[in-house]
Amino acid sequence: MMNINVQSSSPSVVTFKDRSKQIFNQLGMLIILALLIVVMSVIAPNFTDSSNILNVLKQSSITAILAAGMTVVILTGGIDLSVGSTLALSGVISVLLSNSGVPVVFSMFAGAAVGYIAGAINGYLTAVPKLPAFIVTLGSMTYLRGLAYVITGGYPVVLASEKFKFIGAGEILGIPTPIYIMAIVYIIMFVVLKYTMFGRHVYAIGGNEEAAHLTGIKVNRTLINVYSISGLLAGISGVVMAGRLFSGQPMVGIAFELDAIAAVVLGGTSFVGGRGRIQGTIIGVLIVAVLTNGMTLLNVDYYWQQVVKGIVIVIAVLLDRLRSRN
Amino acid sequence: MIITKEQQTRIHSIKAQPIMSMKGVTKQFSGVKVLQNVDIELYQGEVHALMGENGAGKSTLMKIMAGVYQPDGGLIVYKGQEVHWNNPMDARNKGISVIHQEISLSPNLSIGENILMGTSLKKSRLGLISWNDIYEKAENILSSIGSSLDPRANVSSLSVAQQQMVEIARALSLNSEILIMDEPTASLTDKEIERLFTIIDGLKRKGVAIVYISHRMDEIFKISNRFTVLRDGRLVTSGPISETNPTHLVKLMVGRELNELFVRDRSENNTETKNQKPVLELRGISDRKIVKDVSLKIYPGEIVGLAGLVGAGRTELVRTIFGLSDLSEGQIYIEGRSVQIKNPTDAIKLGIAHVPESRKEQGLLPNLSVKENIMMAQFPMYRKFRLLQYSKINREADRYIEELGVRTASKEQNVMGLSGGNQQKVVIAKWLSIGPKVLLLDEPTRGVDIGAKTEIHKIINQLAEQGLAVLMISSELPEILGVSDRILVMHEGRLRAELSHKEATQEKIMFYATGEVK
């Protein structure tokens, strides 16, 4: 250990303005979610019913799991457009395996593994030949979906096993299984991002890849792991989705990557990388879910719901830009 | 452009009216004064040599003249009127062009487009570009400087010298009256330089005023009429080139007081380190770009200064040691053992730390806290069941912040909010935490104010006393002289001189660095 002593003078002071800005950055979207919930509780009939609340959580669970992986990817300054297609392929493969007599648990693991491998390939191409993540995952979005169609001939595969359905449509203590899975994923991702070297390296790479490299961080290996995690979570979502739909469907999950990206951005994660939190992402997911649910309860026309959702996303990005300017 | 009566009378009182005169120009960047009250005058048809060490403020002054920066104080009088450039286009439209050190052409466009970009092109009746017109005009301009380049060819296919011709042609297409050339000959062969000088002569006759920035004395005395010397952002002197000589110019450029800077006490560690084993030894190192056949040894507790001009290959040498660029020849030894360093991770494992040249782009992990910036490299030491133990990390971070005197509101503060000097301390702290044997410093105090500079010098000194081998690149000669035990001077990729701190002077270093003495 080194011992150095240099005279130090008084530290600078954090102003009240900095402090309040910081609080807004941390709580900004949470305040918006809270307001949204209060408004919906008042104007939307049955919004506060426990069955409705569980419904909101259940419906957002798939997007939430995808968005958790997407958060890590976007934190490195990347993007993963392939999660919707990965979800479809993983679901189809796990259902086909289960139907062919493979034990349920193994076929579920296989579905998740398919996602992991698809993600690892994305990561390798992004990290080593340094192809743009957008192009790499645009390609895999297309070929993974294509594979799902090829192995099913384009038709849904109906699930034979009753046990398999538990993961998507079952309940524990009256709460749907996907909600538990979502909660576990978020707890693990929180710990990974905050308390592991991998997690801190993700932030370092997103902030400044060259500086991270010069600090001795293994940038390539970290990036491959990042995309693998996104793929793995997409694979898990695919299995959950299959359980919920009682079938593996090759056309499921189209445009899910966009919902996931929207949630991440709403959650305050910067698109340039290096800044954001997993807690923000779950808030982003819930904002969209509550908004959609509330509008449905209020009988807002489905087409108008799309318009509102889109505008909310644009405003969120605008907020992100204003924040990064400070 | 508003001009007061008072200014007008002042301007007219000058005898031969300069085309451009900058008066009392001041500029600072994040609190560091880069230019203080600098004057310069340019006359039509002259080549004006702008001289000074790296960091003396030459480029900043020229960027102000060309509208890239706005001055904090002082005035710019162009053709007898005070002007305020809002951006480089403003200045360019009025006839001030710059040929940058780095080529600034669009590589995928044709030569003709590059030359005429920025001029208002004649369009066809449909409002479309008339290609024949572009190529014809470009050809005329090129032939006026004696070049036979095909304006239809892509710029990417050209050599550096040819690209420079295109840059000059572009400046001419704008009917420039002032042409600023920043180290134009840096990448040219002797023959190409001769050609450039012929073009410069032609431009002089046309009445163009040329500002010529170069470190090569022979060129300066060959082509310039007058000179201006800057030092530490201040004007030293200005005059006709016939009234000076190379030795005198070098003296003007470096003559500086040393008293306000830190000076290392070398009473204990004399050069009697030779019977120890060197910590770092290089034998015949070359990279694929510029570094040629460099051999050196650094002993424990020694600070070796690496002097030279920008582009001499110092940064490249250090990057090679840290595994950032490949060796084409030679061998690196750490504590007498031959080692292979393929990437920074290898280097760090061997105990080599590297504080890079550009703090913002290479040194800091932006958006992360001071704590994480300091501790990131040693995270592996603070894990339990693979999870980071923040209680220990916090304690260590606090210790480094206190020991290095990092002025920060707290260890959780975003590192981008610190001043340059404190950011640099954070970057140094990051490396101390891995317990290095070799510390490579690339311009450790660039953009740092004088107080923090001295503190960083003290830190470097204390590290050496604890047995580290330090290799420090610096373009500031007083820093090199004040801190180093030994000084190596690089010129065009090779080590040209090794000076002990006793024999080294600013003048000697400058002579080796400019290639005056080989």
Which of B320, B348, B350, B367 is the best substitution to test chain A (most A C-beta atoms within 10 A)? B367
B372 chain-A contacts, CB cut-off 8 A: 200, 203-204
Contact A6 B413 (CB under 8 A): no
Per-residue pLDDT of chain B (518 residues; tens, 9 = 90+): 444 444 444 444 444 789 999 999 999 876 677 899 999 999 999 999 999 877 788 888 999 999 989 999 999 999 999 999 998 888 888 899 888 766 678 888 889 888 887 676 666 677 777 888 888 889 988 888 777 889 999 888 888 778 888 888 888 888 889 999 988 877 677 777 888 888 899 889 889 999 999 877 888 899 999 999 998 889 999 999 999 888 888 888 876 544 456 777 765 554 455 567 899 999 999 998 889 999 999 999 999 999 988 788 999 999 999 999 888 999 999 999 999 999 998 999 999 999 998 887 788 898 899 999 999 888 888 988 889 999 999 999 999 999 888 888 889 988 888 878 889 999 999 888 788 999 999 999 877 766 778 889 989 998 998 899 999 999 888 889 889 999 999 998 999 999 998 888 888 898 888 877 65
> Could you tell me if residue A234 is inside a domain?
yes
Which pair of structure tokens corresponds to residue B109?
């466009």
> Could you tell me if residue A57 is inside a domain?
yes
What residue in A sits closest to B377 (Cα-Cα)? A215
Contact B362 A1 (CB under 8 A): no
**B113-117: Cβ within 8 A, 24+ apart:** B114/B155, B114/B166, B114/B170, B115/B141, B115/B142, B115/B151, B115/B166, B115/B169, B115/B170, B115/B173, B116/B170, B116/B173, B117/B170
Contact B356 A214 (CB under 8 A): yes
pLDDT digits (tens, 9 = 90+) for A9-29: 334 444 566 666 666 666 677
Contact B376 A217 (CB under 8 A): yes
- Measured in angstroms, the CA of B437 and the nearest CA of chain A are apart by 11
B407 chain-A contacts, CB cut-off 8 A: 8-12
pLDDT digits (tens, 9 = 90+) for A70-103: 999 999 999 999 999 999 999 999 999 999 999 9
**pLDDT given at position A78:** 96
Q: How many CB pairs under 8 A join A and B?
A: 112
**pLDDT given at position B13:** 42
What residue in B sits closest to A217 (Cα-Cα)? B345
**A172-176, A287-291, B1-5, B416-420: least confidently modelled range:** B1-5
Contact A211 B362 (CB under 8 A): yes
**pLDDT given at position B484:** 93
> In this model, does residue A39 exceed pLDDT 70?
yes
Contact B364 A9 (CB under 8 A): no
Residue with more model confidence, B191 or A132 = A132
B397 chain-A contacts, CB cut-off 8 A: none
Contact A4 B364 (CB under 8 A): no
Interface of A with B (CB under 8 A): 1-14, 191, 194-197, 200, 203-204, 207-208, 210-218, 274-275
Place of tokens 């004395």: B217
Domain region containing A182: 50-325
**pLDDT given at position B518:** 53
CA proximity to B186, closest of B253, B102, B60: B102
Flag whether residue B376 sits within 8 Å of chain A, measured between CB atoms: yes
CATH number at residue A225: 1.10.3470
Which of A214, A225, A324 is the best substitution to test chain B (most B C-beta atoms within 10 A)? A214
Is there a contact between A268 and A276 (Cβ–Cβ < 8 Å)?
Answer: yes
In DSSP terms, B489 is beta-bridged to B307, B497
**pLDDT given at position B10:** 44
Is there a contact between B82 and B3 (Cβ–Cβ < 8 Å)?
Answer: yes
B363 chain-A contacts, CB cut-off 8 A: 211, 214
Flag whether residue B391 sits within 8 Å of chain A, measured between CB atoms: no
Flag whether residue B324 sits within 8 Å of chain A, measured between CB atoms: yes
- Measured in angstroms, the CA of B61 and the nearest CA of chain A are apart by 29
Cα separation of B180 and B177, whole Å?
A: 10
CA proximity to B56, closest of B305, B356, B226, B256: B256
Residue with more model confidence, B452 or A165 = A165
* Residue ranges per structural domain of chain B: 1-95+177-183+208-255, 97-175, 259-351+436-518, 366-435
**pLDDT given at position A320:** 63
Cα separation of A255 and B42, whole Å?
A: 63
- Measured in angstroms, the CA of A212 and the nearest CA of chain B are apart by 7
A195 chain-B contacts, CB cut-off 8 A: 387-388, 390
B383, B409, B432 ranked by CB distance to A2: nearest: B432
Q: What fold does the segment set B1-95+177-183+208-255 form as a domain?
A: Rossmann fold (3.40.50)
B259-351+436-518 has CATH 3.40.50.10420 classification: no
A211 chain-B contacts, CB cut-off 8 A: 361-366
Residue B53 vs residues A106, B215, B250, B452: alpha-carbon distances, Å: 70, 8, 9, 21
Radius of gyration, CA atoms only, chain A: 21
Q: What is the mean pLDDT of chain A?
A: 90
Cα separation of B136 and B123, whole Å?
A: 14
**A146-155, A254-263, A278-287, B91-100: least confidently modelled range:** B91-100
Contact A216 B348 (CB under 8 A): yes
CA proximity to B352, closest of B436, B471, B443: B436
Is there a contact between A97 and A106 (Cβ–Cβ < 8 Å)?
Answer: yes
Contact A197 B383 (CB under 8 A): yes
**pLDDT given at position B442:** 92
Q: How many domains does chain A have?
A: 1
